[in-house]
Amino acid sequence: MMKTVVINKDRLKLHIEQLGEIGKTADNGVQRLALSAEDREANLLVSKWMKEAGLIVTHDHFGNLIGRKEGRNPNLPPVMIGSHIDSVRNGGKFDGVIGVLGGIEVVQAIQESGIDHDYPIEVVAFCEEEGSRFNDGLFGSRGMVGRVKKDDLNKVDDNLVIRYDALKSFGFDINPDLMNESIRNPGDIKCYFEMHIEQGPFLDRNDYPIGIVSGIAGPSWFNVKLIGEAGHAGTVPMSLRRDPMIGAAEVIKEVETLCMSDPDAATVGTVGRISVFPGGTNIIPESVEFTLDIRDIDLERRNDIIQKVEKKIEHVSRVRGLKFLIEKNVEAEPVKCSDKLIQSLNLTCKELSINAPIMVSGAGHDAMFLAEITEICMVFVRCRNGISHQPKEWAEIDDIALGTNVLYETILRHI
């Protein structure tokens, strides 16, 4: 027999729509880069909803927005629910958002139902999960587990704003000089739950409203810079050119070839951004810089691909007379979700008569760094045609509410 649904679907839908108005783009997308004016407005609105749900609201020194509801024993480690509210450039309004707003709705349902609990509950909106401003994602969750270094604070955005200064000026008593005070250690968090749209087509194609994640592929992010020699496009013979653009094209094509070499593998590689200097139509470039994102659920296979790409960069540079620089921004190992929490989610789904498949996440999430200090689990919600990171991103409120109710019923067992 199905349990009574206590999640307020209408309230959750309204919150998603209202938050989607902040940073709304002309084609109904969302652009809220971390630590921007739009992000600050979003933090203020989400803080308001957290307080209405009975949470005590603070920010830590990594810029993470944290709402806490005490349990009968405040000395116990909290059960944490989290995700993010920053976006990619011209992204969608569901990515990350449903995990934070769903977490708030879980706590509000607990409060309205008058349920007592021993363990505290924390709902967290992690700072700069996407990495769209400073080009190294998962900043807030990396920081919380002690994986942020001084160099991370010195990164600059496209306008040459330093992350340290952006954190300092964001408000909310955030002080990056005190970031060590915000680090959590093993034992500080009982367990971590995250709900997120799938960002892939599996659930939608197979008509599953939600899925349970068994593991998260490990992303590796690089900046690659190839340096040649600028020249006149009409006068320098092809045979005498040191053209980094052609070198970059060779490397980028090799990324696709390597990642498609095993059709049964989950390896993916993406070059999402290219910048050219000086960037004139009639100028052979002096330098070309591009990002590289390679990820896989199999660490050994991913690292083998990376080594082959690096060898290709070295070979192309040697043959074409180029210099090269490779900078690693983010490197995370594939992560396995907690068997105990997977079983708990699966039990809830059975009690609610939900057929939820066990599946792997190809996208990275804040959960993967929390796994360094606590048990983690994730619930995926289907999104239309698997589209994400663009304005057409869409998830039905019925599916989001269903995933939120699964979180609610499961979390009751752990608090």
The pLDDT of residue 362 is above 90: no
Q: What are phi and psi of 316, to 5 degrees?
A: -60, -40
The pLDDT of residue 48 is above 60: yes
Band the pLDDT of 400: cuts 50, 70, 90. very high
Residue range 48-72: average pLDDT? 97
The pLDDT of residue 332 is above 50: yes
The total number of residues shown for the chain amounts to 415
pTM for the model stands at 0.81
Residue range 18-35: average pLDDT? 95
Band the pLDDT of 1: cuts 50, 70, 90. very low
The pLDDT assigned to 331 comes to 81
Band the pLDDT of 56: cuts 50, 70, 90. very high
Instruction: Provide the 10 A C-beta neighbour count for residue 127.
Output: 30
Q: What are the pLDDT digits (tens) for 277-287?
A: 999 999 999 99
Lowest-pLDDT range of 3-17, 121-135, 178-192:
3-17
Residue range 111-137: average pLDDT? 94
Residue range 162-174: average pLDDT? 96
Q: Is the peptide bond preceding residue 176 cis, with omega within 30 degrees of 0? A: no
Q: Please give the mean pLDDT across all residues of the chain.
A: 94
d(CA 188, CA 184): 6
The pLDDT of residue 65 is above 80: yes
| Amino acid identity, position 3 | K
Residue closest to 372 by CA, chosen among 135, 119, 141: 141
CA dihedral 121, 194, 291, 326 (to 10 degrees): 60
Band the pLDDT of 2: cuts 50, 70, 90. very low
